[in-house]
Copies of this chain bind each other. A is one copy, B any other.
Amino acid sequence: MEKTSTYTFMAEPFHCDFSCRLAWSHLGNHLLNAADFHANERQFGMTQLNPQHQTWVLSRLAIEMDEMPQQYTRFGVTTWIESVVRLFTHRNFRIADAADPQRVYGHGRSVWALIDTRTRQPLHLATLSDGALTRYACPEEECTMAPLSRVKMAAELPLVRTLDTVYSDVDVNGHINSVKYIEHVLNLLPLDWYREHRIKRLDIAYVAESYYGDRLRFYRDDSQEGLIDVRVKRQPADGGEEQEVVRCRLSVE
């Protein structure tokens, strides 16, 4: 089997925002689907690993777009493993027009860990599925977007929104769904902002998990030109201490 695979999606009308272009949260969903399909087809996906009490955990995701696909556009998401280093694997993405793959809309980078669902401990990846992950690593495939960078944020930021988690926030593991954080962060910006600005890149770090019943608190930092940083903290339902769960940086123009 090839090291890279391409999966075709459509910018469906209900997944587009007011500007008739695919919304970032749905694009994120398509990238995570492509990652899942690619891994399952190579025997190291959730389908194979979950019965062995193992699950992939998304640690970081970055997406950089020159242009968002317009409504009804069919686009391909090409994905491959860039590297496997001890406890983490880097997976990249290229988003291009399905009919004309030379027309590239943008790229993505992601970092994943594999954990044992019983102990919650990360697993060494080199030996996974008899080294399958390492065999599929494809560092020669070019990804023209800047590497992932750590989002450093001030300790104290203004609180801009508090949300109670609801049924539709929860994924099959009972955690708040990775894509829903992106949706909630983008909802901090008013519609008028989107009429005058464009998000060029989104970097999101999944620091810890949050659960149904948690209250999510969104803290925002606009102090750097061209950047909007958002920290999400959970306030556990049992009244425990507030804990950072997500850091997100939007590079805007």
Taking Cβ atoms with an 8 Å cutoff, the residues of A that contact B are: 12-20, 23, 25, 29, 32-33, 36, 46-47, 71-72, 166-168, 170-174, 177-179, 183, 186-187, 189-191, 194, 212-213
User: Would you call B20 and A172 a contact (CB within 8 A)?
Assistant: yes
The answer for the CA separation of A19 and B16 in the assembled complex, in Å, is 27
Do residues A13 and B172 form an inter-chain contact, with CB atoms below 8 A?
yes
Tell me if B168 and A23 are in contact (CB < 8 A). yes
Residues of chain B within 8 A of A25, CB atoms compared: 168
Q: Is the CB of B23 within 8 A of A36?
A: no
Contacts of A179 in B (CB 8 A): 14
State whether B23 touches A172 (Cβ < 8 A).
Answer: no
A33-B14 in contact (CB<8A): yes
CB neighbours (8 Å) of A194 from chain B are 167
8 of the cross-chain contacts (CB-CB < 8 Å) are A13-B32, A14-B33, A14-B177, A14-B179, A18-B170, A18-B172, A167-B187, A170-B191
Apart from the given pairs A17-B167, A168-B186, 10 other A-B contacts in the complex at a CB distance below 8 Å = A12-B29, A13-B46, A16-B172, A17-B172, A18-B173, A18-B174, A18-B212, A19-B172, A23-B168, A167-B190
A194 to B15 CA separation, bound complex (whole angstroms): 26
Contact present for B191 and A168 (CB under 8 Å):
no
Partner of A72 from B47, B186, B191 at Cβ < 8 Å: B47
Could you say which residues of chain B place their CB within 8 Å of the CB of A18?
Answer: 170-174, 212
* Chain B residue contacts of A167, Cβ below 8 A: 17, 186-187, 189-191, 194
A171 in contact with B14 (CB, 8 Å): yes
Cα-based distance from A173 to B16 in the complex (angstroms): 10
The docked-state distance in angstroms from the alpha carbon of A178 to that of B13 is 11
